[in-house]
Structures are given as C-alpha cells and as structure tokens.
C-alpha cells in the first residue's frame, strides 16, 4: 500500500517554537554570551524547505524579537504575513517583555477579530494603536485578571497563557462560556507542561478560569518531537476512501489532544473503512476505498473542529442523503470567508448546499452521482485548495484549481505528495 507521513502539527510547532524561545531568554539577552545568543537567533530563523508560511512567519518574528532584546529593546518589525497564530500568540508576549513593536498584517489578517484581546492588553498597561495593516504596541503588560469571550478565538487564551508566566506576579484568565475550539487550549497547556510551566484551571457554569503563577521559568525539555497534524492528515484519509487504492497514514498520535482527531470518528460514522494497526512498533492508520458503496449522511456540531469543515462538507456532498453541519459561524473569520468559499466550491462542482448563519445543509448526490469538475476558485485559502484537490477524485471532468499555491500557508509539500501517490490525474493547478 502507498504511504503518507503526516506533516508536523502546526498547532504544536507554533507553541513549541515560542516556548523554546522563552526558555532561552537569558541567553538571548546575556551581554556576555553574544556568540551563543547569535547562534540561537540564527537557529530560530533557519527556514526548513517544507515549512508552512505560518511557521516561517513565527520563526521570523521570534528572530526580530531576539534582535530587539539584543539591541537594547529597539523597536521590532514583526511581519506576521497572514498568520493569526503568529499575531495572537506573539502580541501578548511582546507586551510582557515590554518591547516596542510594529506587527505587519497581510491578506485578511487585519480584518480578523482581535478587539477583545487588545482591550484586555490596553486595560493592563499596554499602549496599542492600529492603522490599516500595522498594529503598534509599547509599554509593559501588568499582571491581573483578564476577561475574554470564549466564542471568538481560543488563540487569545493561548497567547496569554504563554505570556503571563513571565510576569513577576500572579494572573488569572476568565473565559466566558461557551468556549469554542477548546482542544487548542488543551494543546497549549500540554506544551506548557513540557516546558515546566504550571497553570491551574477551573471549570464553572458560566466561565473557565486559568490561574497563572508569575515568576516562572521556561525549561527546555531534553527531548521533544512535534507530532503529526490531524487537520491536514484528514485529507489523506479522504483520499484513501475516495481513491482507487488504500492508503497508509503514518506519524499521527492516536491519543492526541488535537480536536481534529475526530475525523476518524466522523468518517467511520459515514461508513468508511478505517483501520488502526501497529507497523514495526509504530501506530499507523489505513484508509480503504469505499468502492461501489456510498457514504452515509451525518449531522455534526463542528464548533470545536472548524478546520475540518471544508473536507467534511465535500464528503457530505458525496453522501446518500441530506447532511447538516452546525457551529460554523466562526468560519467566516478565517483566511477567507470560509463558509462562502465552501458554498462556492460545492456549487461550482454541481452540489446542492444551503447556508444559514451557523449551519450548512448539503444534499448528497448518492451512489451514482459524480461531481462536475471545471475551474474552481479557492479564495487564497489553503484548506479550500486541498478540499478541491480531493474533490477531483470524484469529478467527471478535470478540475482546475486557481491559485493552488495558497496551500503553502499550511502544507507546502501537499501537491508533491498528491502527485507522488498518483492522485493528480484529474487535478490541474495554476
């Protein structure tokens, strides 16, 4: 069987890079150890060939923060590209370090929600100005109680969780329920534990409280491996199901805290043949073609798994009856209006989709149905690109993906792998 190694989890890698940097703050700022400091900064800035654009943005920003610390806290220019993670994680950290910085926001990043986080940072001593695509900050963050909504972005919480241990006194984060994308906060907590940072949490009827001790030190673990990415691996599970040959997916943690691990449960509910086996002592998953069978329709709440929605919507389009996906409202605030992008993609492929504020309903085309193919627009959204590529496996005509390079935001080698395992015969890119 053909095999795919899942790419590294962006969620874990962002957090690891930041925590690694914070574990070496003494080296970065130590005047007497300039040689080691420069070496560390160079290592942080070194781009791996297959790094996603988001990861490169975080590495480059950490490099510039290191340079600012090295040069007496001079203003840092931090280009976040289109990465919400880079911006929302690093902004509280820059404030905690008391640095002056200009954050550059590209694409739709400046239009994505940030006000709730900004208001709390300003309320705790920071001066922040936003002008067009530049966010400027100065003054040091003060400890205290931070109040955040839980229904906008879990990244607000994660950014503060990584920053507040650096302050001299204790702080609390109160997150008003409902708390969406909670698994991403669990990932942050997991990485913090690996770096010897202690945070306690309390779950109440109306809010979730995180209590953060001040004066903590990040300690680099002796060994650390970034696990595989369940979000992007989902596309390979779908490829195995919709293609002509079974596919083995390696590098995934079957017990991962990543919420998108739920893709296995969802696909099994839809009737997919997925198997978890051990190969040479390592866990792997096998996805088998559905053949002449048809996927079953489903109803799911995607509030905690927003990144899976484009793929699930496509699979629902190929199902036997009407499916319903709820909890999708926040997808309008992603790299694109992802709800509109999904609606456009499925409509162009000949599917039937109805969209309301927080729900998508899709009529499956059934056993004999095929999608149309033709040219599709992906709105500069990496997940729409990958969804379109998977759709090509069930299209009558060739499918042409416009601006396919948008996939580089999260998965640079996606099409290299797609071609390598022989899936690109019906998929054209420009």
> Strands of 134-138's sheet, edge to edge?
76-79, 101-104, 134-138, 127-131
pLDDT of residue 398: 97
Q: Are strands 282-288 and 273-279 parallel, antiparallel or unpaired?
A: antiparallel
Both tokens of 419, joined, read 């071609």
Residue 41 has pLDDT above 60, yes or no: no
- Percent of the chain's residues with pLDDT above 90: 88
Question: What sign does the CA torsion over 60, 62, 64, 70 have?
Answer: negative
Please write the tens of the pLDDT for every residue from 292-304.
899 999 999 999 9
Q: Counting beta carbons within 10 angstroms of the beta carbon of residue 87, is it exposed (0 to 12), middle (13 to 18) or buried (19 or more)?
A: buried
Q: From start to end of 68-194, where are the E strands?
A: 76-79, 101-104, 127-131, 134-138, 145-149, 171-176
Residue 309 to residues 225, 263, 296, 306, 413: CA-CA distances in angstroms?
A: 28, 10, 16, 6, 22
At 143, the pLDDT band (50, 70, 90 cuts) reads: very high
pLDDT of residue 37: 42
Distance CA 423, CA 186 (A): 35
Q: Are strands 399-402 and 374-377 parallel, antiparallel or unpaired?
A: parallel
Name the β-bridge partners of 380: none
- Taking alpha carbons only, the member of 123, 124, 54 closest to residue 89 is 54
Fold classified for 230-429: UDP-n-acetylglucosamine1-carboxyvinyl-transferase; Chain (3.65.10)
Residue 58 has pLDDT above 80, yes or no: yes
Q: Counting beta carbons within 10 angstroms of the beta carbon of residue 131, is it exposed (0 to 12), middle (13 to 18) or buried (19 or more)?
A: exposed
- Which DSSP helix (H) or strand (E) runs through 276? strand 273-279
Catalytic center residues: 307
DSSP tag of 371: B
- Which DSSP helix (H) or strand (E) runs through 1? none
Domain boundaries, the chain: 2-212, 230-429
At 336, the pLDDT band (50, 70, 90 cuts) reads: confident
Q: Counting beta carbons within 10 angstroms of the beta carbon of residue 257, is it exposed (0 to 12), middle (13 to 18) or buried (19 or more)?
A: buried
Residue 35 has pLDDT above 60, yes or no: no
Half-sphere exposure of 222 (CA within 13 A, CB side): 0
Q: Residue range 112-128: average pLDDT?
A: 97
Q: Considering only the top CATH level, what class is 2-212?
A: alpha beta
- Taking alpha carbons only, the member of 191, 194, 188 closest to residue 208 is 188
Q: What are phi and psi of 305, to 5 degrees?
A: -135, 55
Q: Is-same-fold flag (2-212; 230-429)?
A: yes
């Amino acid at each position: 069987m053909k095999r795919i190694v899942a790419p590294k989890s962006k969620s874990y890698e962002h957090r690891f890079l930041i925590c690694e940097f914070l574990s070496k703050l003494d080296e970065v700022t130590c005047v007497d150890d300039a040689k080691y400091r420069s070496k560390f900064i160079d290592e942080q800035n070194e781009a791996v060939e297959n790094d996603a654009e988001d990861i490169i943005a975080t590495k480059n920003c950490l490099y510039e923060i290191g340079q600012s610390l090295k040069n007496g806290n001079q203003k840092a220019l931090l280009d976040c590209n289109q990465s919400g993670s880079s911006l929302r994680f690093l902004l509280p950290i820059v404030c905690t370090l008391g640095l002056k910085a200009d954050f550059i926001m590209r694409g739709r990043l400046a239009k994505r929600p940030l006000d709730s986080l900004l208001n709390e940072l300003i309320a705790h001593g920071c001066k922040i100005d936003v002008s067009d695509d530049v966010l400027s900050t100065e003054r040091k963050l003060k400890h205290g109680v931070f109040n955040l909504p839980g229904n906008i972005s879990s990244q607000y919480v994660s950014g503060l969780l990584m920053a507040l241990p650096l302050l001299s006194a204790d702080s609390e984060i109160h997150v008003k329920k409902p708390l969406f994308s909670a698994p991403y906060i669990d990932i942050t907590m997991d990485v913090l534990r690996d770096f010897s940072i202690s945070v306690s949490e309390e779950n109440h009827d109306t809010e979730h409280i995180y209590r953060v001790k001040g004066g903590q030190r990040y300690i680099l673990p002796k060994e650390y491996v970034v696990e595989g990415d369940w979000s992007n691996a989902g596309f390979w599970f779908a490829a195995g199901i919709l293609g002509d040959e079974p596919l083995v997916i390696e590098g995934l943690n079957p017990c991962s805290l990543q919420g998108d691990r739920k893709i296995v449960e969802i696909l099994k509910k839809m009737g997919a043949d997925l198997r978890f086996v051990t190969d040479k002592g390592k866990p792997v998953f096998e996805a088998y073609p559905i053949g002449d069978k048809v996927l079953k329709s489903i109803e799911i709440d995607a509030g905690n798994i927003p990144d899976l929605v484009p793929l699930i919507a496509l699979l629902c389009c190929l199902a036997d009856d009407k499916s319903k996906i709820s909890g999708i409202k926040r997808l309008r605030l992603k790299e694109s209006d992802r709800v509109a992008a999904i609606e456009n993609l499925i409509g162009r492929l000949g599917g039937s989709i109805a969209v309301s504020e927080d729900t998508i309903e899709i009529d499956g085309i059934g056993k004999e149905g095929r999608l149309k193919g033709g040219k599709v627009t992906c709105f500069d959204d990496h997940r729409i690109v990958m969804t379109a590529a998977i759709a090509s496996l069930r299209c009558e005509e060739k499918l042409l993906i416009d601006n396919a390079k948008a996939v580089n935001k999260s998965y640079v080698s996606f099409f290299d792998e797609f071609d390598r395992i022989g899936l690109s015969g019906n998929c054209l890119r420009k």
